[in-house]
């Protein structure tokens, strides 16, 4: 570690006088404690720790405390955590924890139960939640937003957006099939032929590509669209037809980080016309378009819905950010002109057992980068590229450049 980096490293090592009895590291220090919290949102079935991640945390030298009932929504009983080496505790145990792992950003009530200086790692949903971020800074917490993990090779195994979006794309097709009330594959029988369902996926990111792959496995005829040129080859590789206005703007419509750029009004008009014509022929439409930090772009209008056949289904995976589909309601399945609009919240959480398994691996892999190989103590290097990208608050201040100005009232 360089001298500059060493100056920015903070180690959480506490004496046994301020901690319950734990495994002695030597020199009067006890093991640092990782607390895996039970989510306070009653609609959140995911948990920030799996049996395997608990074993890994133990191997890294941590004492692990799991809040009672934390894993029940993901079908992990307390006894399984105990077998992996964790202690099952209560919410009050968070007060003694050095690291707190969560799925969602802690509430004000939860924050009041954390000690100043604790590290909190979760999906923080920072955009538009400046007051909540400020509260975490005021509580002296060092917090990390997993969804801000940079899309670089080193961080692939920590990419929460990808792990959860992958499952959301799968579940979107399952939800669509449930609402569709018909078979998806073509079936040739003595009684006649059932035609294959036509499914159109809007947005070919991680969620969209998994939706395409799942729909194809189920036998549907699949098409897809995206504003990123690279998506065309990916869509084709999965056996789907690519639908887009492929002009010069389209060829430059991707950021260095792999996200879609916001397109000009002129392009949007041309693309909307092409999409409108295509949607009228579809049985199921799944929308997945999100731009970080901005409301979800409107992709499907009421006029497009009116052009679809009665009994068609549309699924909006962006409903939590305002929705891609006009008329979509967060947390509801509604019907407009005979077309069902599916607006389930927390779609990855609808298959919590699988989602938690991947999320817990994302967390423990990230946390491992903060553990000193020499001392097995938690050491935070503020100059590390992963830390710089994901740290929201530290030392009583908001430290992320994208949100710090907002805390100070800057425009």
Those residues whose C-beta lies under 8 Å from the C-beta of residue 82, and which sit 6 or more positions away, are 88
Catalytic residue among 156, 178, 247, 306: 156
Same domain, 63 and 174: no
Catalytic residue among 25, 151, 217, 298: 151
Same domain, 176 and 85: no
Same domain, 237 and 324: yes
Smallest CA-to-CA distance from 286 within 164, 167, 176, 163 is with 176
Query: Would residue 180 show up in a list of annotated catalytic residues for this protein?
Result: no
Query: Would residue 125 show up in a list of annotated catalytic residues for this protein?
Result: no
Strands 142-145 and 119-123: parallel
Smallest CA-to-CA distance from 121 within 36, 3, 62 is with 36
Catalytic residue among 259, 268, 298, 384: 259
Q: What's the CA gap between 408 and 400, in Å, rounded?
A: 12
**What is the CATH classification number for the domain harbouring 226?**
3.40.50.720
Q: Is residue 162 assigned to a domain?
A: no
- Domain span at 277: 168-350
Q: Is residue 356 assigned to a domain?
A: no
Query: Would residue 162 show up in a list of annotated catalytic residues for this protein?
Result: yes
Same domain, 179 and 217: yes
Same domain, 111 and 175: no
Query: Would residue 151 show up in a list of annotated catalytic residues for this protein?
Result: yes
- pLDDT for 294: 82
Same domain, 100 and 57: yes
Same domain, 259 and 393: no
Number of structural domains the chain divides into: 2
Q: Is residue 208 assigned to a domain?
A: yes
Alpha helices in 38-129 (DSSP H): 51-59, 78-83, 108-111
Tens-digit pLDDT profile for residues 337-366: 999 999 999 999 999 999 999 999 999 999
Same domain, 305 and 181: yes
- pLDDT for 125: 93
pTM of the model: 0.87
Same domain, 283 and 209: yes
Catalytic residue among 31, 74, 162, 356: 162
pLDDT by 10-residue block (mean), the chain, 411 residues? 44 38 41 94 96 97 97 98 98 97 97 97 93 96 96 95 97 98 94 95 95 98 90 94 86 64 80 92 95 85 95 96 94 95 97 98 97 86 94 95 60 39
Query: Would residue 156 show up in a list of annotated catalytic residues for this protein?
Result: yes
Q: Is residue 364 assigned to a domain?
A: no
Say if CB 169 and CB 161 are below 8 A apart.
no
Catalytic residue among 63, 98, 159, 283: 159
Virtual CA dihedral for 167, 170, 171, 177, nearest 10 degrees?
180
Same domain, 313 and 282: yes
- pLDDT for 259: 61
Phi-psi region of 100 (alpha: psi -120 to 50; beta: other; left: phi over 0): beta
- pLDDT for 72: 97
End-to-end CA distance of the chain: 37
Q: What is the DSSP letter of 84?
A: T
Q: What is the DSSP letter of 19?
A: S
Same domain, 315 and 203: yes
Q: Is residue 359 assigned to a domain?
A: no
């Amino acid at each position: 570690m360089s001298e500059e980096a060493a100056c920015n490293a903070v180690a959480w090592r506490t004496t046994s006088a301020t901690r319950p009895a734990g495994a002695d590291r030597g020199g009067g220090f006890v093991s640092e404690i990782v607390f895996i919290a039970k989510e306070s949102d009653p609609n959140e079935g995911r948990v920030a720790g799996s049996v395997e991640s608990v074993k890994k945390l133990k191997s890294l030298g941590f004492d692990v405390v799991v809040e009672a009932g934390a894993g029940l929504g993901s079908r992990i009983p307390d006894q399984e955590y105990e077998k992996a080496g964790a202690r099952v505790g209560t919410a009050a145990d968070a007060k003694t924890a050095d690291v707190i792992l969560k799925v969602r950003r802690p509430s004000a009530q939860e924050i009041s139960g954390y000690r100043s200086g604790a590290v909190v790692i979760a999906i923080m949903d920072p955009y538009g939640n400046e007051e909540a971020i400020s509260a975490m800074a005021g509580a002296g917490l060092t917090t990390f937003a997993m969804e801000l993990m940079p899309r670089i090779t080193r961080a692939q195994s920590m990419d929460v957006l990808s792990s959860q979006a992958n499952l959301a794309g799968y579940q979107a097709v399952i939800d669509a099939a449930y609402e569709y009330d018909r078979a998806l594959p073509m079936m040739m029988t003595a009684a006649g032929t059932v035609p294959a369902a036509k499914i159109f996926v809007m947005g070919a990111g991680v969620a969209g590509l998994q939706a395409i792959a799942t729909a194809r496995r189920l036998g549907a005829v699949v098409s897809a669209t995206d504003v990123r040129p690279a998506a065309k080859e990916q869509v084709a590789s999965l056996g789907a037809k690519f639908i887009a206005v492929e002009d010069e703007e389209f060829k430059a419509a991707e950021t260095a980080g792999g996200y879609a750029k916001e397109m000009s009004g002129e392009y949007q008009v041309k693309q909307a016309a092409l999409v409108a014509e295509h949607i009228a022929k579809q049985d199921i439409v799944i929308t997945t378009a999100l731009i970080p930090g901005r409301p979800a772009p409107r992709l499907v209008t009421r006029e497009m819905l009116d052009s679809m056949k009665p009994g068609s289904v549309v699924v909006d995976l962006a409903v939590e950010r305002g929705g891609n589909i006009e008329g979509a309601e967060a947390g509801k399945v509604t019907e407009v002109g005979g077309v069902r609009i599916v607006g389930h919240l927390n779609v990855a959480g609808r298959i919590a057992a699988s989602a938690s398994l991947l999320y817990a691996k994302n967390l423990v892999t990230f946390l491992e980068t903060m553990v000193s190989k020499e001392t097995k103590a938690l050491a935070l290097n503020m100059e590390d590229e992963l830390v710089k990208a994901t740290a929201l608050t530290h030392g009583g201040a908001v430290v992320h450049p994208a949100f710090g100005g907002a805390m100070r009232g800057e425009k």
